[in-house]
Amino acid sequence: MVLEKKFAIYKERVNQYVETLLPLASNSEPKNLYEPIRYAMEGNGKRLRPILLLITCDALNGRFETALPAAAAVELMHNYTLVHDDIMDHDTMRRGRPTVHHKWDADIALLSGDGLLTLSYRSLLRTQSPNLQRAAQVFTDGLIELCEGQCHDHDFEHDDSVTMAQYLHMIRQKTARFFSICTEMGALLAGAPDAKVSLVRQFGESLGLAFQIQDDLFDITVSQAVLGKDFGSDVKRRKRTFLYVYTMARGNPAQRDALQQIFRKAESTDTEVRLAQQIFSDAGALAGAETALREHLQKARECLQRLEPAVDTAELHAFVEMILKRKS
């Protein structure tokens, strides 16, 4: 309970810091750049990534003020990826609101995504630390991997034969790499020794893998109203999620055929989305995802245990629990 309050305070501090990077709200010219940027940042985001960065820095005895610009940077970077990914995915809803390219247009979304990315560097470069250069390299190399992962994700939409290994490589580059960017930067800005930096990086990666598999599950187990996204958007967008690759690897021939027929069509009706969900369930993909999710969480917890008792990992454990219990 106390930790939840702390996370809420951190979230608020990140939001406040982001404001300092933007022109004054009353004078945000040009409007077609700063209005969509503010809109993207105002969505009811959970600020998970900056909180993870900040509590990692905390755990390794770093200073909050040293890590705050980097925390704001990862949140800005996260929102840049959302705005650009939504263009590529043709998604119209995000967190219960129209996406930027849907509310404005693709050109404005393109440019405001670029603006968010640039502002994330503006934030990061305010960091006062002898480890700034190394932290910024982790941030940048991670971002290049995110681009690679996004490219694979996009390519996969036209590829029936995506394997579980390819899927895992892709989410390792996208979601998992992003979580490990946060933990690694938090540790570097705390001035932690290499061995600890390495352990929290592995922790972030395992946590990120669990997070993505959970996200894949949400698309069919959580209602549209809670997610604030289009109904069954993963199926409609031909996303090769854990559920898809599991079913194609482990389902029976009838299940695989039926799923492939749905995925080969140009568009899906809601009935076909529900049919795909039924196939995932029948093929054991939901249970398989639950198992994989727990395995990755277990690995994450093991990384923390290897840091104990020298490091107080209570907040990081609480963060894992929060991820596990999230509803959207």
Binding site for a copy of itself (CB under 8 A): 29-30, 32-33, 84, 87-88, 106-108, 110-111, 113-115, 117-119, 121-122, 125, 132-133, 136-137, 140-141, 143-144, 147-148, 150-152, 154-155
The distance of closest approach from Cβ of residue 143 to a copy of itself in the complex, given in angstroms and rounded to an integer, is 5
**How far, in Å, CA of 313 to CA of 297, rounded?**
15
**Smallest separation (angstroms) from a copy of itself to the CB of 153:** 10
Q: What whole-number distance in Å separates Cα of residue 91 and Cα of residue 158?
A: 17
Q: Compare residues 139 and 319 and give the one whose CB is closer to a copy of itself.
A: 139
How far CA 317 is from CA of 203, 205, 214, 280, 298, in Å, comes to 11, 15, 18, 31, 11
Closest CA to 91 of 217, 208, 216, 231: 231
Residue 4 CB, nearest approach to a copy of itself (Å): 34
Query: Quick one: which of 41, 50, 61, 44 has its CA closest to 7?
Result: 50
Q: Cα separations (Å) of 105 from 42, 276, 291?
A: 18, 31, 40
Residue 101's alpha-carbon distances to 83, 192, 218, in angstroms, are 8, 41, 24
The smaller minimum CB distance to a copy of itself, of residues 124 and 304, is found at 124
| Nearer to a copy of itself among residue 182 and residue 293 (C-beta) | 182
Q: How far is the CB of 281 from a copy of itself (least distance, A)?
A: 31
Rank residues 150 and 313 by Cβ distance to a copy of itself and give the closer one.
150
- CA–CA distance, 249 with 247 (Å, rounded to integer): 5
What is the distance of C-alpha 187 from the center of its chain? Answer: 19
Q: How far is the CB of 260 from a copy of itself (least distance, A)?
A: 23
Nearer to a copy of itself, 93 or 108 (CB): 108
Nearest to a copy of itself of 33, 275 (CB atom): 33
